[in-house]
């Protein structure tokens, strides 16, 4: 049914053009734990042990996970101090409470929505962690409030950064996520706010910048060596600044981010619906008649991803990258939906409302939108050059130095 409808609407959708970011169903270099598990022989019977390396018995999933972690776990890098990982313990990781300051004013709903995307629809879909917004503390949301693990506050950094965060071993008064007003418009990189927050909350979970690894060859972005690699190097990681030889244009999550956060905090306790996000167009954007719907999907048992326009199924893709070109969409208001479905039928749906405005008919000019030019979208062809040397995100290094 869906496929038939997709066929009938082929005029609307042509072959995909990929953004630099390439989402994958699961890590395709380095195995995910599920892939590793599936490759290991298990003796028959309800309590059968796993057998690895020919004759080494492994009692259960938990033990097997430890072995996978040591051997296959390799794309995020966790902060270390004195050789030990700086992470939340088993209790804390499920109680990452925070408040959102009422000082955000008219932006409060926007920041709350974006935080929800970065947490419930982001990191929590990929690992056994839980962020909890304690709304009762919002009116008293400051660095001295002991009733939350951290506070989220607006800041005017004078253009120094979009946002900054902290690491798990910081004291309560230092545990702040500060969001500059420029982050609401994406800054120079035009990144979705939810992805900027996904990055910052990655620091909150203990992750360092992926570009500090030697593989990035990003001397201009050097920090220090206090990290332990959890996965193979991932140039597209949410923790990798694009301007530091990264390959992501929208700072979205990757399959290796899931592998990395799982290695540190364990997989979600039950099969959860896919981590699915629309990165472009952004909610409320005005676009030309031709544009890409850029999404990021991370899931270990993904079945397919469906694009709908105004409630009509347009196409269904079973393999990434999940970028859907749209051409010739009529002027006016439209709704773009995606449904990401896993093999157990769990579905994550995301939706944005957009407007197709006046275009230059492909020629464009002035301030009018040209084809494939999306406000807040995946700006294909952008390189690191425009952002070189500009600190766009976290200021954690400065904080670390201050603490020493």
| β-bridge partners, 55 | none
* Residue of 39, 28, 21 lying closest to 259 (CA atoms): 28
Residue 244 vs 369, nearer CB to Zn ion: 244
196 counts as binding Zn ion under rule CB under 5 A: no
394 counts as binding Zn ion under rule CB under 5 A: yes
Euclidean distance between CA atoms 161 and 326, whole angstroms: 34
| Element housing 202 (H / E) | helix 193-204
Residue 159 zone, left/alpha/beta (φ > 0; ψ -120 to 50; rest): left
Residue 13 vs 152, nearer CB to Zn ion: 152
Provide long-range contacts, Cβ within 8 A and 24+ apart, for 103-112: 103/141, 103/153, 103/154, 104/153, 104/154, 104/179, 107/154, 107/181, 107/184, 108/138, 110/184, 110/193, 111/152, 111/179, 111/184, 111/193
The contact mask relative to Zn ion for 342-381 (x = CB under 5 A, - = no) is ----------------------------------------
246 counts as binding Zn ion under rule CB under 5 A: no
Contact window for Zn ion (CB under 5 A) among 79-87, 309-317, 355-363, 392-400: 392-400
Phi, psi values for residue 107, rounded to 5°: -90, 0
Alpha helices in 279-395 (DSSP H): none
201 counts as binding Zn ion under rule CB under 5 A: no
76 counts as binding Zn ion under rule CB under 5 A: no
Residue 212 vs 338, nearer CB to Zn ion: 212
What is the rounded radius of gyration, in angstroms, for the C-alpha atoms of the chain? Answer: 22
- Using CA atoms of 63, 69, 71, 72 in order, give the dihedral in degrees to the nearest 10: 120
Residue 268 vs 394, nearer CB to Zn ion: 394
Residue 314 vs 393, nearer CB to Zn ion: 393
Contact window for Zn ion (CB under 5 A) among 29-37, 257-265, 319-327, 389-397: 389-397
CB 69 within 8 A of CB 30: no
Residue 19 vs 393, nearer CB to Zn ion: 393
Residue 129 vs 329, nearer CB to Zn ion: 129
Q: Which of 212, 340, 354, 393 binds Zn ion (CB under 5 A)?
A: 393
Contact window for Zn ion (CB under 5 A) among 85-93, 268-276, 347-355, 394-402: 394-402
Phi, psi values for residue 78, rounded to 5°: -95, 145
Closest residue by beta carbon to Zn ion: 394
Provide long-range contacts, Cβ within 8 A and 24+ apart, for 179-185: 179/104, 179/111, 179/152, 179/153, 179/154, 179/155, 180/154, 180/155, 180/156, 181/107, 181/154, 181/156, 184/107, 184/110, 184/111
218 counts as binding Zn ion under rule CB under 5 A: no
Q: Shortest approach of Zn ion to residue 164 CB, angstroms?
A: 7
Residue 127 vs 393, nearer CB to Zn ion: 393
Q: Shortest approach of Zn ion to residue 209 CB, angstroms?
A: 5
How would you classify the pairing of strands 41-42 and 50-52? antiparallel
242 counts as binding Zn ion under rule CB under 5 A: no
Binding-residue total with Zn ion (CB under 5 A): 2
Map tokens 């084809």 to a residue. Answer: 371
187 counts as binding Zn ion under rule CB under 5 A: no
Contact window for Zn ion (CB under 5 A) among 73-81, 180-188, 254-262, 391-399: 391-399
287 counts as binding Zn ion under rule CB under 5 A: no
Residue 255 vs 393, nearer CB to Zn ion: 393
Residue 340 vs 392, nearer CB to Zn ion: 392
| β-bridge partners, 309 | 312, 336
Q: Shortest approach of Zn ion to residue 243 CB, angstroms?
A: 12
141 counts as binding Zn ion under rule CB under 5 A: no
Q: Shortest approach of Zn ion to residue 395 CB, angstroms?
A: 8
Phi, psi values for residue 203, rounded to 5°: -60, -40
Site of interaction with Zn ion (CB under 5 A):
393-394
């Amino acid at each position: 049914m869906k496929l038939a409808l997709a066929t009938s609407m082929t005029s609307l959708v042509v072959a995909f053009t990929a953004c630099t970011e390439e989402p994958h169903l699961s890590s395709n270099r380095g195995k995910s734990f599920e892939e590793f598990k599936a490759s290991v022989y298990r003796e028959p019977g309800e309590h059968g042990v796993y057998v690895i390396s020919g004759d080494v018995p492994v009692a259960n999933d938990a033990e097997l996970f430890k072995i996978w972690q040591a051997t296959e776990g390799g794309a995020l890098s966790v902060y270390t101090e004195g050789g030990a990982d700086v992470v939340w313990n088993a209790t804390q990781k499920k109680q990452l409470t925070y408040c959102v300051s009422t000082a955000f004013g008219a932006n409060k709903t926007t920041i709350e929505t974006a935080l929800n995307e970065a947490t419930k629809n982001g990191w929590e879909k990929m690992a056994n962690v839980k962020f909890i917004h304690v709304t009762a503390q919002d009116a008293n949301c400051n660095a001295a409030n002991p009733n939350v693990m951290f506070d989220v506050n607006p800041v005017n950094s004078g253009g120094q950064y979009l946002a900054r965060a902290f690491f798990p071993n910081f004291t309560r008064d230092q545990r702040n996520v500060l969001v500059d007003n420029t982050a609401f418009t994406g800054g120079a990189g035009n990144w979705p706010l939810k992805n900027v927050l996904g990055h910052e909350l990655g620091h909150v979970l203990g992750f360092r910048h992926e570009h500090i690894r030697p593989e990035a060859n990003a001397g201009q972005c050097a920090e220090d060596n206090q990290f332990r690699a959890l996965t193979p190097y991932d140039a597209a990681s949410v923790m990798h600044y694009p301007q530091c030889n990264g390959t992501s244009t929208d700072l979205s999550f990757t399959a290796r981010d899931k592998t990395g956060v799982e290695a540190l905090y364990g997989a979600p306790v039950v099969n959860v619906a896919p981590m699915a996000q629309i990165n472009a167009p952004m909610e409320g954007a005005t676009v030309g008649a031709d544009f890409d719907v850029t999404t990021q999907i991370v899931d270990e048992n993904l079945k397919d991803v469906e694009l709908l326009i105004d409630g009509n199924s347009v196409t269904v893709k079973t393999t990434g990258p999940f970028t859907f070109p749209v051409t010739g969409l009529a002027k006016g208001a439209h709704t773009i939906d995606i449904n990401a479905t896993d093999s157990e039928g769990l579905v994550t749906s995301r939706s944005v409302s957009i407007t197709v405005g006046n275009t230059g008919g492909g020629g464009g000019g002035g301030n009018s939108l040209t084809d494939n030019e999306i406000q807040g979208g995946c700006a294909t062809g952008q390189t690191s050059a425009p952002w070189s040397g500009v600190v766009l995100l976290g200021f954690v290094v400065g904080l670390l130095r201050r603490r020493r």
